[in-house]
Amino acid sequence: MRIISIDDPDDPRIAAYRDIRERDLTGREGLFIAEGEVVLRNLTSAASRCRPRSMLLAEKRIVGMAEIIAAAPDDMPVYSASQAVLDSIAGFPLHRGILALGEKPEPEDAAAMLDRLGEDAVVVAAEGIGNHDNIGGLFRNAAAFGAGAVLLDDRCGDPFYRKAIRVSVGAVLRVPSPRPLPLEDLVATLEAARFEVIALTPSATEPLAALGSGGRRALLLGSEGPGLPQAIIDRCRAVGIAMAGGFDSLNVAATSAIALHQLTAAAR
């Protein structure tokens, strides 16, 4: 295997991995850090929309990662370091001991992406979701239920943030997601592409359980707390999830899973 040993945390060859928490906050110029075996398996799979640039592994992980290393491009460097050196590079204890550097896909226009989807496609759209756990959860659920894309407005967090990728178990690297748009433009783009936009809101009188499958559907979710703007709800088909005891709030990722299960039931 093409393994390059790293003994010095300041080695310039692994500069992109240094202090990865801080680098997540400042951006990586079209690159991202992937973490963990399952995520790297997705990154190197045929379904990935991203290209791996390099890997940085703890020495103890090399043998177990042989299959994933073999699936990566032949010219991709694989760096190996002791756990102590790896922790020093990352800037915190990296218990998984598995990192990779990848290239984001080229940003794509939302209308062009939607145009390629089938007549019964279901997509997820989100507004104002800044929590990276929730962003990762949306992509994970979209992949699990076969959604054709995840569309984010320009107030959502970056799905290529390291934690979002990790929470999504690599789904961010597989599920198409076009260039973000302001919310009104996002809804207009969905409407122009003949998608029925279904706004999930506790104020709705129509229950999610009454929806059948079929046709182009876009599941629109707002941030926890404020939710979707009323003007957007009024423009869309407002649907709610019935809950017990007067409770009216679910985590946005959990909401997406329930709604996607309902909307994609016929396709499974």
Tens digits of residue pLDDT in 80-124: 999 999 999 998 888 889 999 999 999 999 999 999 999 999 999
Same domain, yes or no, for 90 and 148?
no
Q: What is the mean pLDDT of the chain?
A: 92
Same domain, yes or no, for 92 and 158?
no
Do 16 and 101 meet the contact criterion of CB atoms below 8 Å apart? Answer: yes
Name the pLDDT band for 19 (thresholds 50, 70, 90). confident
Same domain, yes or no, for 15 and 121?
no
Q: What is the pTM of this model?
A: 0.93
Q: Residue 61 and residue 265: Cα distance in Å, rounded? A: 40
The pLDDT score that the predictor gives to residue 191 is 98
Same domain, yes or no, for 187 and 86?
no
Q: How far separated are the first and last CA of the chain, in Å rounded?
A: 40
Q: What are the two backbone dihedrals, phi and then psi, of residue 235, each rounded to the nearest 5 degrees?
A: -80, -25
Tens digits of residue pLDDT in 40-87: 999 999 999 999 999 999 999 999 999 999 999 888 999 999 999 999
The pLDDT score that the predictor gives to residue 219 is 97
Same domain, yes or no, for 120 and 66?
no
Higher pLDDT, 250 or 105: 105
Do 123 and 143 meet the contact criterion of CB atoms below 8 Å apart? Answer: no
Tens digits of residue pLDDT in 78-91: 999 999 999 999 98
Tell me what the mean pLDDT of segment 260-264 comes to: 93
| Maximum alpha-carbon separation in the chain | 62
Tell me what the mean pLDDT of segment 170-199 comes to: 97
CATH number (domain holding residue 238): 3.40.1280.10
Choose the final residue of a domain: 103, 133, 165.
Answer: 103
Same domain, yes or no, for 122 and 25?
no
Q: Residue 95 and residue 86: Cα distance in Å, rounded? A: 10
Residue type, 118: G
The pLDDT score that the predictor gives to residue 206 is 94
CATH number (domain holding residue 22): 3.30.1330.30
Please give the share of the chain, as a percent, with pLDDT higher than 90: 79
The pLDDT score that the predictor gives to residue 266 is 58
**What dihedral do alpha carbons 132, 135, 140, 141 form, nearest 10°?**
140
Domain limits at 86? 3-103
Same domain, yes or no, for 169 and 97?
no
Tell me what the mean pLDDT of segment 142-160 comes to: 96
Residue 251's alpha-carbon distances to 14, 40, 151, 152, 202, in angstroms, are 38, 27, 18, 17, 12
The pLDDT score that the predictor gives to residue 14 is 94
Q: Residue 165 and residue 35: Cα distance in Å, rounded? A: 8
Is residue 228 pLDDT above 80, yes or no? Answer: yes
Choose the final residue of a domain: 103, 127, 157.
Answer: 103
The pLDDT score that the predictor gives to residue 246 is 73
Same domain, yes or no, for 12 and 115?
no
36 Cβ neighbours under 8 A, 6+ residues apart: 96, 98, 166
Same domain, yes or no, for 99 and 114?
no
Q: What are the two backbone dihedrals, phi and then psi, of residue 233, each rounded to the nearest 5 degrees?
A: -60, -45
Three-state DSSP state, 236? coil
Same domain, yes or no, for 25 and 87?
yes
106 Cβ neighbours under 8 A, 6+ residues apart: none
Choose the final residue of a domain: 45, 74, 103.
Answer: 103
Same domain, yes or no, for 129 and 214?
yes
Q: Residue 186 and residue 182: Cα distance in Å, rounded? A: 6
Q: Which residue has the tokens 């876009």?
A: 218
The pLDDT score that the predictor gives to residue 2 is 78
Same domain, yes or no, for 82 and 127?
no
Is residue 267 pLDDT above 80, yes or no? Answer: no
Domain count, the chain: 2
